Structure 1
Amino acid sequence: MQLSTPVILYLLLINLFAFALMGIDKEKARRHKWRIPEKTLFLSALLGGSVGAIAGMQLFRHKTKHWYFVIGMPAILVLQAAGYFFLSHRF
């Protein structure tokens, strides 16, 4: 199964969005301001932005001490990759 241009564009945008959310939340944490809810960060990953979220975690050193992010984000990526490979070989 080959990804269509709209799907590729969506994945690019959602990953950029997830990456930006990590950076914005890190900056807000530094300044002791209103924070982006953790469920929003996870939702962006679940909607296809797991690569961007993981990259943002690493680059901004954000949420790297929280086990549920350290394990959860890569787990989401693995499940998404497995789902893609399952669907691509099924259809």
Structure 2
Amino acid sequence: MRFAGRITEWHDEKGYGFITPNGGGDRVFVHVRAISRAGPRPGPGLQLTYQVERDGRGRMNAVSARPAGRDKPAARGGRSPKGVLALACLAMLVAATAWLGMPALVPAGYAAMSAITFIAYAIDKRAAQAGHRRTPESTLHLMALAGGWPGAMAAQHWLRHKSVKASFLVVYRTTVLLNLGALAAWIFEHRA
């Protein structure tokens, strides 16, 4: 059975909040993973339809939530500018190898680090869902800085992991800029 309600409290950095059912009743916990990617970013006032499940402690949690007025859930993991951008960056590195005369090891290194980083995100997401020990955020940032940022970008999109917490995303974007700056400096140095 689907219910309808409105988000009345939202913690964007942590990716969760609470829904107050239309017509009253107890608030229901909702995590960003339970909300369809289609539609506006979750926040206070967003109207949702959702199903309810009890967790291991008997608390009510919203699942299969989507913005009110959407008849069908959106397909998860579809292409978006962020997911496609990650693949496009790797393709540009391959093209730059031929055009700028970069060694083939450069795009190969980015591809390898991206694959490793994507896997690290997947392992961390699984650990988070199971309540096990997590991969430190600093480790994920170092992997991105070392050239795995396209894989991190793809994981944030397709796995929906580490894609909401604002403080994490600020550091992640900084690692991308630092990595690209170092790559540009290296290219400039070797072309001169």
Q: Report the TM range for the smaller structure's normalisation.
A: 0.7 to 0.9
Structure 1, unpaired ranges of 5+: none
- Name the SS for the 1:74 alignment partner: helix
Which structure has the greater CA radius of gyration? Answer: 2
Call closer, same or farther: CA 1:7–1:87 in 2, change over 3 Å. closer
Which deviations, in whole Å up to 9, do the C-alpha atoms of 1:51-91 show, x marking residues without a partner? 11121112111122322222222222223223323332343
Which deviations, in whole Å up to 9, do the C-alpha atoms of 1:19-59 show, x marking residues without a partner? 11111100110011121111111111111111111211121
The runs of at least 4 consecutive aligned structure 1 residues that moved more than 4 Å come to: none
1:72 counterpart (171, 174, 187) = 171
Amino acid at match of 1:16: A
For 1:2 and 1:67, how far apart are their aligned partners in 2?
38
Alignment length, in residue pairs?
91
TM norm structure 2: 0.43
For 1:38 and 1:18, how far apart are their aligned partners in 2?
12
Written as runs of structure 1 = structure 2, the 5 A alignment for 1:1-91 is: 1-90=100-189, 91=192
Percent identity between matched residues is 26
For 2:140 and 2:171, how far apart are their aligned partners in 1?
11
With a CA cutoff of 8 Å and minimum separation of 6, indicate the structure with the bigger relative contact order. Answer: 1
Q: Counterpart of 2:10?
A: none
For 1:27 and 1:2, how far apart are their aligned partners in 2?
40
Structure with greater strand percent:
2
